[in-house]
Every structure is written in structure tokens, then in C-alpha cells.
Amino acid sequence: MGKFLSDWNRTHTCNELRAANVGETVTMMGWVQSYRDHGGSIFIDLRDREGLTQIRFDPGVNAEAHQLGETLRSEFCLAVRGEVIHRGANVNSNMETGEIEVLVQDVELFNRAETPPFEIKDNIDTSEAIRFKYRYLDLRRQPLQNNLMMRSRVANLTRNYLSQNRFLELETPILMKSTPEGARDYLVPSRVHPGHFYALPQSPQTFKQLFMIAGYDRYFQICRCFRDEDLRADRQPEFTQIDVEMSFISPEDIYELMEGLMQVIWKEEMGIDIPVPFPRMPYEEAMDRYGSDKPDTRFGMELVDLSDIAADSGFKVFSGTVEKGGIVKALNGKGCASMSRSAIDGLIKVVKPYGARGLAWFKVNEDGWQGPIVKFLSEEEKKVMTERLNLEVGDVAFFVADQPHVTNPALSALRLHFGDLQGLRKEDDFSFLWVTGFPLYEKDVETGALHAMHHPFTSPMPEDKELMTSAPHEARAQAYDLVLNGTELGGGSIRIHDAATQELMFRNLGITDEDAEAKFGFFMDSLKYGTPPHGGIALGFDRMIMLLTGSPSLRDVIAFPKTQRATDLMCDSPTTVDPAQVDELHLRLK
């Protein structure tokens, strides 16, 4: 170790040396990426997080070093000292350091390596389970290293941008009170308070509002949050968000601030000038045109509501649906008439997960319309459909008839499916959108109970405040989501800043005064002491990096992610613990 510190100080990383360095004596450190014996000289590619450099062991320069070089294999960790020489006719234009190589004068082997369970290279055909079990090896691969290095840079850009805009980076507790915010809490039993539990934060919501009440005016935090919910490609049980709160503002201030942040990040990381201001779209319009409150606006193929003409249709599925309060919507599959009948029938798999019981369709051919429902359509219906759907020869019209909570997401999924099928969702296109004017509440389809569309601290639109009493299901929220390419990048709102409105919000959500006091008493008390108007937003940091890198999953931009079953295969967690630990926490397991 003494030799390492005193005699082996690294001078260059594995992606620094160029032709201008020829003749210099350098010291480099890293891992063996590949090994080649050319009948005398031995060549290795030395790798660190920055890249690769070719290293040559020549017996005429240092026989002992050459002898050691003969023993090197993949993932051995070592240091080399030598002279930078030009590769002459053997320049490798595929390597950034391909003009040069380092002729070894001395070498120090730090550690040998067993044969890895998979090859450390960019593209590998290895199961995710094996990669996660050996995540420390997976993280040596350049794609993941690039993702995590970008993650670090974007975090720094965010901190610098917000600090320059007078924000304070402040921390909020990890062990906090369990409060209902939608998903399940992760609970932590207290040893010193038997039968009592902390919760890991789903978000720092109440605490960041308390900072505003305390007069700190502008807060931000790049923080860890936890939700015990079912996982998807864009969800993890623990995740990171850029959390922001401001006092004395309107939504316009949030829009301007976040648009500026996106401009900085995309310019610095992607070299792209993002145009501002971002388009804005009311929630109702987004649902009507795209069937989603997070529409991908990189392409058209919008949904068309045909409920008015479907109400009197001879096709009983359409008319019966409208009679029961449902809707009939369609989209035009442009140029899809070449699809086979079996391929079209297979599309039911796309819409069925959203509750759709069927997918009606017809083709527009040169010799007329073809499909199962054509015989039920009148000439007037055909005329209206042709105009509204912009139907041309070669198109296929697809229909879903059901209640809005089924029709909209089902057709939205089909739209995205065709967007992928036709190559319309290009990774290097970035389409930002603000979705605004969300309902304050959403109604449970089965029970009719009201739930907060965002969270229970969201303020109503000033003009809709009275509706909280007379018709709460009609009230709109001062809430906004930032959407990018069909992904919700973040969401926020102007907050309730008076106790009376907050109490009314809780009552409308079925939270009794006693429950509100038990769960939010500290927060309700704080609203009585000169609370300023305030609002904020939280951006999904992992999702942002996923979109910036073009990664298919959050797991590719998080250093140590969980599987879809919320397990850590490397650490083998969660796991059982010693019964004495459970007993110490005053718990008994079923």
C-alpha cells in the first residue's frame, strides 16, 4: 500500500492521451478489458470509467513486466507506467485514444480476478437477474457508467441553477409520521415507543410547506422518497426527486423556473436548444384528444369522440354504450390497411388490460369499406366518420365503446402502440408539455368516494373554491404536470394556505376531524400562524435521466435498483432477521 501511494500516483485516465502526448512518461490505472498475445508483444486494453487505452508489454523494454503481462486476464486490476508512443499505421479510429499506445516500463498488479459471470462490454445477452446479482460488475460496463456520470452532472446542474435563483438546499426528515398520500407507506417500528411506527417519506410534502411557513421562501432538495407500490419499468420502491417549493408565487413562476432548468440541462447534456415557453393543455383537452393526462405529443393520431352520432347508430354496441353514459371514440390507423385480419384481431391484447371488452374496426379499401361493423353503419355515419377521422384509402379506423375510464386509456395505449409500430416516437425528439387545470378530486369508480387527484394539500382554482362545498366533483385544482414524450416528468400545485380550506378538503376526502387532527394536527396548527401563499413541484429525477439517456427502464439509471418484486438480488434483501431483533421492536410475526 505504501508503494501504491508514494510511487504510483496516476497521471492520466484511460481516455485522456492523444498524439500530442507522444514521448511523455505516464502512469495509468484500471482494469484489463481485453488481452492479446501477438507472439512477443502483449497488448491489453486498459479500462477505467472514462474509456480505454491500449497498453503494450515488450520483452525488450522490461522482461519482468512482460512476464507479468503474460498472466493478465480480463478484469485484473493494475497500474502501468510507460512511454506514450504513436501507433503509426495501426491507428484505431474506433477508439478515442486510438492514435497512441503506452509502452510499459513498469507494472504493479493490484488484484487478480476470477472469470466474471458475464463479459464486461457494452451489449451483453445476459439475464437481468444475473446482472443484478453481480451489480458491481454490471456497473463497470460503459453504458451504465455513462448513465450514472450523466446523473451526477445533471444533479450538479440542477443545484447550480436553483442556487443561482436564490433557492436554499434544505433537508427534510427520513423518519416521519405516516400520512395518507395515495400509495402505501414503508413503516419502521420504534424500539423505544412500543407499538408505534415511523414512515419513510413518500415525499417531503408537509415539511417543504413548513419551510414556507417558517419564512425560507425558496427551498429545494434532491431527495430520496419511498412508496410501497407495485412496480413498473418507470417505478422503483425508492426513488429520487427534485423537490421545489416557493412562496408568494403563481403557477407562471413555476412554469418559468422549470422551463429554464430544462433548457440548461438539455443544452449542457444534449446540446439541444429547448424552445420555451412550453405548450400548455388543459386536462380535459388532453383526455379528449389523447385519452391521457400525459400525452405523447411527438406525433398526431389523436382520438376522435363519435358519441354524438353513435347514440343513434344501428350498431347496438355503440348506441347501447352511449345510452348507459359511456363514450365511443376512434382513432385513424393511417396506412394500416395492409395489416392482416389476424394482426388486427391481435390488437385486443393492447386494449384489454385497460378493461376494454372489444376493439371494433374497419378498413378503407379502394373498393369500399371492409370490416365486421360496416354493415351496421349508415351512409350519414360513414360521411361523418370520414370527415372527423380524415379517412383515406389505406387507413383503418379503430373504435372502443365503454365508460370513459376504460375507453380513454385503452385507445391511448393503442395510439402509443401504433406510434411505436410506425417509428413516430423518436428518442431524439423531446416534446415538453404542461398539462393544467386538473380536477381537484377524482371519484372512485366502484365506491363513488372522492380522492385527491394530486394530493390533499392542493389548492382549488380561486373561481372554483365555492364548488368544494356545493359540487366538489366539479372543482378544478391549481395543479400542473410537466410531461415529456408521454411520461409525467413531474407534478405540482399551488397549495392550500388557510386552515378552513384545508379542513374542508379533508372532510371531502372522508377524513374526519379526529383523523385529520391525529395525522395532520401539527400541520393544521402551522396554518394558523401567518402562512404565505405558496406552491411547488417535484420532478422525477430518475425518470428524467431515463429519458435523457434513452434507457428503457429506471433500473438502468439507478446504481443499485430493485427488481419488479422489490428485491435486491445482490444483497438478498428483504430478508428475515434475528428473532431477538423482532422481539426488541415489540413485534410478533404471523
Interatomic CA distance for residues 70 and 505, integer angstroms? 73
Instruction: Give the Cα separation of 33 and 53 in Å (integer).
Output: 10
3-class SS string, 543-586: HHHHHHHCCCCHHHCCCCCCCCCCCECCCCECCCCCHHHHHHCC
The DSSP secondary structure of 347-391, one letter per residue, reads THHHHGGGT----EEEEEETTEEESTTGGG--HHHHHHHHHHHT-
410-445 confidence digits (pLDDT tens): 999 999 999 999 999 998 999 999 999 999 999 888
Phi, psi of 209, deg, nearest 5: -70, -35
Nearest CA-CA partner of 548 in 297, 264, 301, 278: 264
At residue 369, φ and ψ (nearest 5 deg) are -90, 145
All cell numbers assigned to 237? 420502491
Q: How is the beta sheet containing 304-305 ordered, strand by strand?
A: 304-305, 327-333, 396-402, 360-365, 368-370
Report the pLDDT value the prediction gives residue 62, as an integer from 0 to 100. Answer: 94
Q: Rounded to an integer, what distance in angstroms lies between the CA atom of residue 586 and that of residue 188?
A: 12
The predicted pLDDT at position 1 comes to 42
Cβ(46)–Cβ(80) below 8 Å: yes
CA distance 312 to 296: 33
Q: What cell numbers appear for 427 in the block?
A: 428518442
- Tens of pLDDT, residue by residue over 555-568, are 999 999 999 889 99
For 562, left (φ over 0), alpha (ψ -120 to 50), or beta?
beta
- Residues in a beta bridge with 30: 78
Q: 150 vs 204, 224, 349, 515, 566, CA distance in Å?
A: 25, 18, 37, 44, 25
Query: At a CB cut-off of 8 Å and minimum separation 6, what does 328 contact?
Result: 305, 306, 307, 310, 318, 321, 322, 399, 400, 401, 407
Residue 262 and residue 485: Cα distance in Å, rounded? 14
| Rounded distance between C-alpha atoms, residue 4 and residue 2, angstroms | 5
pLDDT of 479: 97
List Cα–Cα distances, 21 to 86, 91, 574, in angstroms.
Answer: 9, 15, 51
Give the whole-angstrom CA distance, residue 256 versus residue 165. 12
* DSSP of 48-112: ETTEEEEEEE-TTT-HHHHHHHTT--TT-EEEEEEEEEE-GGG--TTSTTTTEEEEEEEEEEEE-
H helices of 422-459, in order, are none
Cell numbers given for 537: 413541484
Q: ∠ CA 492-505-513 to the nearest 5 degrees?
A: 135
| E-strand stretches of 413-465 | 432-436, 441-443, 450-452
| Residue numbers of the chain with a pLDDT score lower than 70 | 1-5, 180-182, 231-234
Q: What number of residues does the chain have?
A: 590
> Which domains does the chain possess?
2-111 (2.40.50.140), 127-279+533-590 (3.30.930.10), 299-421 (3.30.1360.30)
Pairwise CA distance, residues 343 & 294, whole Å: 28
DSSP 298: T
What pLDDT score does 2 carry?
44
The DSSP H or E segment spanning 316 is: helix 316-323
